[in-house]
Chain A
Amino acid sequence: MSATSRTETVAMLTKLTREMRATILEMITQAASGHPGGSLSAIDFIAALFTTRLKHDPKNPSWVDRDRFILSKGHAVPALYVTLAHQGYFDAKLLPTLRQLGSPLQGHPVNRFMTACEAPTGSLGQGLSVAQGIALAGKLDGKSYKTFCLMGDGEIQEGQVWEAAMSAAKFKLDNLVAIVDWNGGQIDGSITEVMPSLEPVVAKFEAFGWDVKEIDGHDFNAILDAIAWADGAGDKPKCIVSRTVKGKGVSFVEHPTKYHGAALSKDELAKALAELKEAK
């Protein structure tokens, strides 16, 4: 990326993610179930990663040398599906079939329904281990692909995440990048209410042997810098703690719990779409 194109890239992403937010909310309302909050907090990072960084081939989703992306907090899958459709993995006409019987757009990512999902997620806490196995295979085979794994801040309360954190450092997996979408919310409350001792999260990953970078996860300059940083030198696995807002982009959806797993009503959707249209 040349220096001049950074401004253009940020402008492109700003516009794109605004449209994607609208589509995500439409899909969830159409399905009358799903998870708006965690999809909207993660979309900026996912869209930026796919459009600017991942080496992949939508026409050949099982290309052996592709970079991998695992959405470990699988309930945010609408954010992945809009991105995959935008990248050309499937026809965007399929997006409204989310969660319907027979649709490849399952309620949580499933690789047997869609290869680009890479693994089934939705049971929180499993993605980082699978990502690690993929990264380890890359090392064993002398391949240069990278594996990215995005988790929720609630999700990393699972013990398995910390088992994975421990062993990834042992295996010096510099080809593994974890992203924690720290939006401060889960279901029964905010992270501060449910599990305050999860902080300091940066120090925890560092203590487990990772290089850690903390960013504003809605600032595309910061996201692009962090993605470049993760490609930098060093033999440690990399963790990006992305500080975000649950429900980001629509004023009344921005809340740590309210729209975790509740679809917007038709009226709410209309309000949200109007707001997104006006946004700059």
Chain B
Amino acid sequence: MSTIKPIATRQAFGEALAAIGATHPEVVVLDADLSKSTKSELFAKKFPERFIQMGIAEQNMLGVAAGLGLSGKIPFACSFACFIAGRFETIKISVAYAGSPVRIVGTHAGVGIGEDGYSQMGLEDIGLMRVLPEMVVLQPADDVETAAMVRWLVEESKAPAYLRLTRQNVRRVHAEGWTWTPGKMDVLREGTDVAIIASGGPVMNALDAAEELAKSGLSVAVANLSSIKPLDAAGIEALSRKVKLIVTVEDHNVLTGAGSAVAEVVASLKGAHARVHRHGVMDTFGESGTPESLYDKHRLDAKGIAAVVREQLAD
């Protein structure tokens, strides 16, 4: 597996979209002057007649995508996660409430984007999207999962959906032959003391943290929560019966994110279950810095995640 080159999930998205476009003429792609960054340009180059350049006007893009979706198209509307989140009410009404099958794609998720700073960081988008009824909210951990999700969004699902992608490269965390099951959380590593439920870019770091913690005798499970809505309540419950502590990890505000979704499930459980500690960007604004320095500061790298787990066990 180590021979596979890490790539950003936005890159995997662009490649998957360009590939599936050939067999699905109903797929149209919209972008708001960021196609080089969202990687929708890979589709645009192959299918220029089905690529719709909207200019720097995200709100209009989402409304136009809604209309296309109501007229038999499968529209992918792409921008940075932060600018998508900024057009929330348009998404709420024209996309979600309308029941239009728009595939909203938000790239450059989290503090992992680095130097551009907070204005370009999507740190609230999961919360905003998952609060909308019927909205599907997906965040893949690697390239193969991204490709599987794109295929599913074109060939299976008809619900409005949000796909959250990284700017930075991520390592493949899935083994050869693995297949994605929609709506299921996948357990990447078994363990009996602690479970880390991670989502998105930091999943690979959670695996490294588990490896690190294993050296001191801790048995740490790692689960990849890539379907944030619908949520695998049964899978979360099963984990929470097995370990004493669940630590959720994500590059998003710790309020309202994937970790909050997990906590909402566990809080309602009867009987003995794990305590949940939510880790992420701890309700602060982002800032400029290299991606590495920010992952260090927010303790989203392997070292930081391991430290958070140790702290929570010591409490």
Q: Is chain B a partner of chain A in the same complex? A: yes
Task: Tell me the A residues contacting B by CB distance below 8 Å.
Answer: 31-34, 74, 99-103, 105-108, 110, 113, 120-125, 154-155, 157-159, 186-189, 193-195, 198
Q: Which residues of B contact A113 (CB under 8 A)?
A: 287
Instruction: Give CA–CA (A189, B57) in the complex, Å.
Output: 15
- A123: contacting residue among B53, B119, B293, CB under 8 A: B119
Enumerate 12 A-B pairs (CB-CB under 8 Å) in ascending A order.
A33-B114, A33-B115, A34-B115, A110-B119, A120-B119, A122-B119, A123-B86, A154-B56, A157-B57, A188-B33, A188-B35, A198-B55
Please name all residues of chain B whose beta carbon is closer than 8 Å to the beta carbon of A101 when the two chains form the complex: 287-290, 293-294, 297
Residues of B within 8 A of A100 (CB): 288-290
Partner of B53, one of A33, A74, A105, A188: A188
Question: Contact at A99–B56, with CB atoms within 8 Å?
Answer: no
**Pair A195/B55 contact, Cβ less than 8 Å:** yes
For the complex, give the distance between the alpha carbons of A100 and B33 in Å: 26
Please determine whether B117 and A110 come into contact, CB atoms closer than 8 angstroms.
yes
Pair B117/A122 contact, Cβ less than 8 Å: yes
- Quick one: which of B41, B86, B115, B118 contacts A31, CB cutoff 8 A? B115
A-B contacts at CB below 8 angstroms, number: 90
Query: What are the interface flags for B112-129 relative to A under an 8 Å C-beta threshold, 1 for contact and 0 otherwise?
Result: 001111111000000000
**CB <8 Å contact, B119 and A157:** no
Kindly supply a per-residue 1/0 record for chain B positions 1-27, scoring 1 wherever the CB is within 8 Å of any chain A CB and 0 otherwise: 000000000000000000000000000
| Complex CA–CA separation, A31 to B55 (angstroms) | 28
CB distance from A159 to the nearest CB of B (A): 6
- Distance between Cα atoms of A194 and B41 in the complex (Å): 13
Chain B contacts to A: CB under 8 angstroms: 31, 33-37, 41, 53, 55-57, 59-60, 82-83, 86, 114-120, 287-290, 293-294, 297
Q: How far is the CA of A155 from the CA of B41 in the complex (A)?
A: 20
Q: CA of A94 to CA of B86 in the docked complex: distance in angstroms?
A: 32
Q: Is the CB of A159 within 8 A of B59?
A: yes
If A99-B288, A186-B56, A188-B53 touch, does A106 touch B117 (CB 8 Å cutoff)?
A: yes
* Given A157-B55, A188-B33, CB of A103 within 8 Å of CB of B83: no
Known contacts A188-B36, A194-B33; is-contact A108 B119 (Cβ 8 Å): yes
Say yes or no: B120 contacts A122, CB within 8 Å. yes
Which secondary structure dominates where chain A touches chain B?
loop
Residues of B within 8 A of A32 (CB): 115
B59 nearest in chain A by CB position? A159
Knowing A123-B86, A195-B55 touch, does A188 contact B289 (C-beta < 8 A)?
no
Residue of A nearest to B60 (CB): A159
Question: Which A residues are in CB contact (< 8 Å) with B56?
Answer: 124-125, 154-155, 157-158, 186
The answer to whether A107 touches B116 (Cβ under 8 A) is yes
Q: Which of B35, B288, B293 gathers the greatest number of chain A CB atoms within 10 Å?
A: B288
Q: Do B119 and A74 have beta carbons less than 8 Å apart?
A: yes
- Asked if B115 and A194 make an inter-chain contact with CB atoms under 8 angstroms apart, the answer reads no
| Bound CA span A113–B288, Å | 11
CA distance A125 to B293 in the complex (A): 30
Known: A106-B117, A155-B56, A158-B57. 8 other contacts (CB 8 A): A74-B119, A99-B115, A99-B116, A106-B288, A120-B119, A123-B83, A125-B56, A186-B55
B83 touches A187 (CB 8 A): no
Q: Are B115 and A187 in contact (CB under 8 A)?
A: no
B120 is contacted by which of A102, A107, A198 (Cβ under 8 Å)?
A: A107
